[in-house]
């Protein structure tokens, strides 16, 4: 009998990893980084808790690091088999893993400087760029809806999850003794009101269902209200001339913000002189989005065609890329009339902090928060009304207007998750809640019970028969 073991995203949102074992094959579903507190991230340094040499294949739901970020470590530790994913995911994976390796290298160098001064033993990064290149060589891309055998008695099919470009709902078909069973992993399901991508595909049959629950305890603010507030902020800011700074995540959120700014431009409401995308990673991701426009939903694809080639570039003609350090630094000389989109999304690092240094103290400047800000992050301090902001050894007075928009989300909300699972036929699948904080999952479990569903919340290293 096949078994499934939960090796991540059980005690929180990150570290996605599930091991499927049959009598003939062993499949790893996702291999993500643990992210968050230092205590949580210590899990990345632990040896992977299964026999790497016994793996026949790895299946990846999408490119976000909490689902993919330990793949180079897996390869560095000896895995040489195939990595299966969608074609778009394989392209985004190259951008994201190389960026992650560079950041780890930088952070390790800084830590080792400190350790040398303290006479402590130096450390190694979790993995290197060479490990990333080795992992990328193993990637095999699928198109949505393509069902293929990946190991003895195991087939896979990817369905569009609508979360980020290339994101998938994973269907695994396991045949033993002539009997086929089906495991469905939701991956991260998208918000049907978000821009560009299609709604999550409907799946109607499964024996076991793994369901994400990131927003299982609440619904998002209505998108029309969010867009109206976004428009009001942009229009008002143009009247007083100050710059607008938008800290944004490189994958998904940045591309949606560019699209929303394009809508305002096409309506004649965007009076700023230029929109600068000041993030090499976000620029690279936006180019991948440009190459996969066939993944867009019909309505937004038709809207984009108001530009000459149907791209984000022509839909927002005042969009400018700032790739180099010199180009980024030049933006600090602009005192008014610019919109600057830069990472990191929670203001923990990246170029946005340099722009804060030159703009936060200006009374006519605006900061627009368009993504979740975790407790303890610099971005959260701005949301909570901080009067000063620390950058290095400097403390910058916050005189700029801080705006928080809560409606932008790449995840399905509580009601959207329920709607998606309600499409499953009888007999209903055995349902397991993953990818959520403990309190969120407990709330969602009760919510589902009130709507006729029995859901189990697995613990780390729990194994179920499948």
Residue 241's pLDDT is what? 78
pLDDT of residue 427 exceeding 80: yes
Please check whether residue 355 is in contact with residue 332, taking contact to mean a CB–CB distance below 8 angstroms: yes
- Name the residue among 341, 401, 396, 395 with its Cα closest to residue 371: 341
Which one-letter DSSP state was computed for residue 309?
Answer: S
Q: Average pLDDT in the 272-277 region? A: 91
Residue 130's pLDDT is what? 97
Domains of the chain: 3-218+412-465 (3.60.15.10), 223-404 (3.40.50.10890)
Percent pLDDT > 90 in the chain is: 82
How far out from the chain centre does Cα 433 lie?
19
Q: How many residues does the chain have?
A: 466
Coil/strand/helix, residue 392:
coil
Residue 379's pLDDT is what? 87
Coil/strand/helix, residue 345:
coil
pLDDT digits (tens, 9 = 90+) for 73-89: 999 999 999 999 999 99
Among 28-42, 105-119, 198-212, 219-233, the range with the most confident prediction by mean pLDDT is 198-212
Residue 378's pLDDT is what? 87
Kindly state the tokens that stand for 77.
């530790």
- Name the residue among 125, 244, 97, 211 with its Cα closest to residue 454: 211
Which of the four pLDDT bands, split at 50, 70 and 90, describes residue 307? low
How far out from the chain centre does Cα 264 lie?
25
Q: Average pLDDT in the 180-191 region? A: 97
Which of the four pLDDT bands, split at 50, 70 and 90, describes residue 256? very high
Please check whether residue 185 is in contact with residue 18, taking contact to mean a CB–CB distance below 8 angstroms: yes
Q: Is the peptide bond before 344 cis (omega within 30 degrees of 0)?
A: yes
Name residue, tokens 């799946």: 203
Say which residue, 463 or 371, is predicted with more confidence: 463
Could you tell me how many helices (H) and strands (E) the chain has, helices first?
A: 15, 22
Q: Average pLDDT in the 24-39 region? A: 91
CA 186, 192, 195, 200 dihedral sign is: positive
Say which residue, 343 or 6, is predicted with more confidence: 6
Percent pLDDT > 70 in the chain is: 99
Name residue, tokens 């965007």: 270
Which of the four pLDDT bands, split at 50, 70 and 90, describes residue 466? confident
Residue 11's pLDDT is what? 86
């Amino acid at each position: 009998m096949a078994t499934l073991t939960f090796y991540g995203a059980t005690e929180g949102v990150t570290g996605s990893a599930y091991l499927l074992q049959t009598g003939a094959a062993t499949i790893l579903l996702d291999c993500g980084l643990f992210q968050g507190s230092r205590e949580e991230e210590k899990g990345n340094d632990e040896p992977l808790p299964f026999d790497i040499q016994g793996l026949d294949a790895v299946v990846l739901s999408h490119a976000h690091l909490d689902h993919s970020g330990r793949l180079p470590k897996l390869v560095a530790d000896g895995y040489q088999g195939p990595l299966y994913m969608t074609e778009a995911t394989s392209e985004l994976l190259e951008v994201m893993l190389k960026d992650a390796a560079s950041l780890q290298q930088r952070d390790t160098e800084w830590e080792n400087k400190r350790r040398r001064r303290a006479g402590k033993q130096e450390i190694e990064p979790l993995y290197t760029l060479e490990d990333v290149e080795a992992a990328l060589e193993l990637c095999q891309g699928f198109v949505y809806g393509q069902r293929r055998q990946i190991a003895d008695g195991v087939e896979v099919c990817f369905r569009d999850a609508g979360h980020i470009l290339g994101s998938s709902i994973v269907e695994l078909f396991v045949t033993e003794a002539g009997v086929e069973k089906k495991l469905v992993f939701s991956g991260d399901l998208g918000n049907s009101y978000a821009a560009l991508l299609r709604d999550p595909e409907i799946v109607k049959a499964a024996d076991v269902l793994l369901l994400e629950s990131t927003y299982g305890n609440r619904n998002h603010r209505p998108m029309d209200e969010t867009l109206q507030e976004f428009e009001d902020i942009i229009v008002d800011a143009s009247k007083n001339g100050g710059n607008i700074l938008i800290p944004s995540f490189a994958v998904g959120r940045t591309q949606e913000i560019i699209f929303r700014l394009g809508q305002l431009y096409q309506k004649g409401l965007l009076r700023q002189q230029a929109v600068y995308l000041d993030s090499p990673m976000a620029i690279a991701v936006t180019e991948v989005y440009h190459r996969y426009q066939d993944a867009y939903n019909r309505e937004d694809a038709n809207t984009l065609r108001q530009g000459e080639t149907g791209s984000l570039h022509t839909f927002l003609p005042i969009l400018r890329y700032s790739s180099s350090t010199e180009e980024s630094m030049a933006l600090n000389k602009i005192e008014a009339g610019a919109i600057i989109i830069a990472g990191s999304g929670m203001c923990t690092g990246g170029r946005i902090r340099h722009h804060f240094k030159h703009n936060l103290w200006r009374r006519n400047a605006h900061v627009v928060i368009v993504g979740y800000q975790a407790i303890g992050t610099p971005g959260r301090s701005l949301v909570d009304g901080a009067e000063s902001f620390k950058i290095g050894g400097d403390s910058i007075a916050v005189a700029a207007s801080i705006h928080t928009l809560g409606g932008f989300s790449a995840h399905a909300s509580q009601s959207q998750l329920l709607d998606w699972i309600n499409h499953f036929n009888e007999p209903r699948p055995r349902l397991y809640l993953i990818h959520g904080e403990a309190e969120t999952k407990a709330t969602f479990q009760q919510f589902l019970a009130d709507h006729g569903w029995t859901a189990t919340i697995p613990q780390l290293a729990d194994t179920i028969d499948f």
